[in-house]
Amino acid sequence: MGEKKSIFIVEDERVVLLDIQHTLLGIGYVVAGVASSGEEVLPAIEKVHPDLVLLDIVLEGKMSGIDVAEQIQQSYEIPVVFLTSYSDEATLKQAKQTGAYGYIIKPFEERELFAAIEIAFYKFNVDRILRESKRKIELLHVTARKLARMQEAEDVYQEAVNAAEAILGFTTCNLQILEDGQFVVKSSSTRSSYGEGMTPQSAEVLQAYNENEFKIISDDVHSRIFLPIAGYGVFNAQTAKAHFCDDDKRMLDLLFGHVSESLQRITLQSNLKAQAIHDPLTGLYNRYFLYQTLENQKRLSVRYGRAIAFVMIDVNGLKEVNDKLGHLMGDQLLKDVSEVLVGACRNTDIVVRSGGDEFLIILPETGEELAVIVNRIQEKEKEWNEKHVSGHYRMSFALGYSWWTPDGNESLDDSISRADEQMYRNKRSMKQEMRSDE
């Protein structure tokens, strides 16, 4: 039977109690304690925590065995087997309603008692497994609903580890995501030795990821688990060997199936959003994003009382490049201009391709000092031409700029129009200069 099971006996007939106690010891059980009345039972159980209670239905005192069984079921997960001299239908019905795991009629033989106890342990263990399985499935459903609503990958990472702790009891686990050829810990459990942002090097993690295969490495002390999340990373856990089984593996597969689906959905949404607001040729923000961000920038400007500056850029000679060298070369010119503009701007500035050969730069919290950025753009243009002096084309663009303040009378659209008008004046002036040079 392995480790001896402990049994608590509740019987008000002294002779019967001693006989049961002797019988239990003879067939290999431990007697955890005895009681003769219902009132004694719960305090005694609280102290000794038996594996099973043998309980007489008819007891001295105010509490019957039925009453005691109901209290045991409410407070503890301990199986109860009834002892009784009565086999009438009413008594049997009451016993069933308490959720007892057995019913044995006195007097009984040793083998009958042994069989009743062992069947009770078996049924109780099956019920425990079913209850635990139900708990895990319910938590998995809750987790799946949470994951389906999440919009950020970081939230998914954390929920994955939280669920692994709650569902499977993994207190030592982490989720490592592959970034730039290196596995980075994105979330970890309460007892994990690896914190967020750490980059532990593990051959097992790399192997599980590359082979896309669930791996369990066990020894006499623990099991190490490596579950790949295709295209993203690896879930890594350590647990007591006895606590990991095929059901746990299936539950992990289901859990991280939901995790993988959520990450794929978020990645797809992110890609679609990026495509919606970026120009496919240059990678800059497009006109659709421009309309979204202008209102937001205006609100921030009003809130903090800071100006917004605008620089309008028109690329000179794009049509000639398209006509003489082909549209692929014209596309390359636009890409080169984009790189020059981004390189000249600050991280907080927003560069937008607003039309075919036109660009708009939004400079938050910037007023008259935007002249520094304008000069930098012109310097970058000059540097590019010097570097590509033997290239197919020279880079040239006309500039116009303005700034808007929240306490002024000008609208945001009027400020942008002012920059646009200045740009076209600059463009006309550059054309006149070119003609006079000819």
Q: Which residue has the higher pLDDT, 432 or 319?
A: 319
> Which amino acid is it at 318?
L
56 phi and psi, to 5 degrees? -70, 135
Q: Is residue 381 predicted with pLDDT exceeding 90? A: yes
Residue 314 · residue 397 · CB < 8 Å: yes
What residue ranges of the chain are covered by domains with CATH 3.30.70.270? 287-437
pLDDT at 231: 86
DSSP designation for 232: T
What residue ranges of the chain are covered by domains with CATH 3.40.50.2300? 6-123
Q: Is residue 15 predicted with pLDDT exceeding 70? A: yes
Please give the share of the chain, as a percent, with pLDDT higher than 70.
Answer: 96
Considering only 24-33, 66-75, 330-339, 429-438, which range has the smallest mean pLDDT? 429-438
> Which amino acid is it at 26?
G
Average pLDDT, the chain: 89
What residue ranges of the chain are covered by domains with CATH 3.30.450.40? 150-274
Angle between helices 318-325 and 327-344 (to 10 degrees): 140
Residue 172 · residue 192 · CB < 8 Å: yes
Q: Which residue has the higher pLDDT, 99 or 385?
A: 385
**How crowded is residue 257: how many other Cβ atoms within 10 Å of its Cβ?**
12
Core vs surface per residue 322-344: b (16+ CB within 10 A) or e: beeeeeeebebbbebbbebbeeb
Residue 111 · residue 162 · CB < 8 Å: no
- Radius of gyration (C-alpha) of the chain in whole angstroms: 38
Burial of 302: CB neighbours in 10 Å, binned 0-12, 13-18, 19+ = exposed
Of 104, 36, 46, 103, which Cα lies nearest the Cα of 71?
A: 46
Per-residue confidence band for 437, with pLDDT thresholds at 50, 70 and 90: low
Strand order in the sheet with 233-240: 182-188, 172-179, 233-240, 222-229, 215-218
Q: Which residue has the higher pLDDT, 338 or 433?
A: 338
Per-residue confidence band for 291, with pLDDT thresholds at 50, 70 and 90: confident
Separation CA 132–CA 82 (nearest Å)? 25
Q: Which residue has the higher pLDDT, 362 or 97?
A: 362
Give the model confidence (pLDDT) of 147-162 as tens digits. Answer: 999 999 999 999 999 9
pLDDT at 86: 67
Domain 287-437 -> CATH class? alpha beta
Separation CA 312–CA 434 (nearest Å)? 21
Average of pLDDT values for 418-433?
Answer: 90
Separation CA 87–CA 95 (nearest Å)? 11
Angle between helices 153-168 and 110-149 (to 10 degrees): 170
Q: Which CATH number fits domain 6-123: 3.30.360.10, 3.40.190.10, 3.40.50.2300, 3.90.420.10?
A: 3.40.50.2300
Bridge partner residues of 319 (DSSP): none
Count Cα atoms within 13 angstroms, Cβ side, for 217.
12
151 phi and psi, to 5 degrees? -115, -10
Question: Which residue is associated with the tokens 């890594």?
Answer: 236
Q: Which residue has the higher pLDDT, 97 or 324?
A: 324
Separation CA 225–CA 234 (nearest Å)? 10
Separation CA 186–CA 268 (nearest Å)? 20
Give the model confidence (pLDDT) of 226-265 as tens digits. Answer: 999 988 999 998 887 656 777 888 889 999 999 999 999 9
Q: Which residue has the higher pLDDT, 95 or 14?
A: 14
Q: Which CATH number fits domain 150-274: 3.40.50.450, 3.30.450.40, 3.30.1280.10, 2.40.160.60?
A: 3.30.450.40
Average of pLDDT values for 381-398?
Answer: 91
Of 31, 27, 32, 34, which Cα lies nearest the Cα of 11?
A: 34
| CA distances from residue 239 to 176, 189, 191, 227, 304 in whole angstroms, order as listed | 17, 12, 11, 14, 53
H helices present in 57-174, as ranges: 65-75, 89-97, 110-149, 153-168
Average of pLDDT values for 165-172?
Answer: 86
DSSP designation for 231: T
Separation CA 432–CA 429 (nearest Å)? 5
Count Cα atoms within 13 angstroms, Cβ side, for 181.
0
Considering only 98-112, 248-262, 352-366, which range has the smallest mean pLDDT? 98-112
pLDDT at 1: 45
| CA distances from residue 29 to 24, 205, 304 in whole angstroms, order as listed | 5, 46, 78
Give the model confidence (pLDDT) of 304-354 as tens digits. Answer: 889 999 999 999 999 999 999 999 999 999 999 999 999 999 999 999 999
Per-residue confidence band for 73, with pLDDT thresholds at 50, 70 and 90: confident
Residue 315 · residue 340 · CB < 8 Å: no
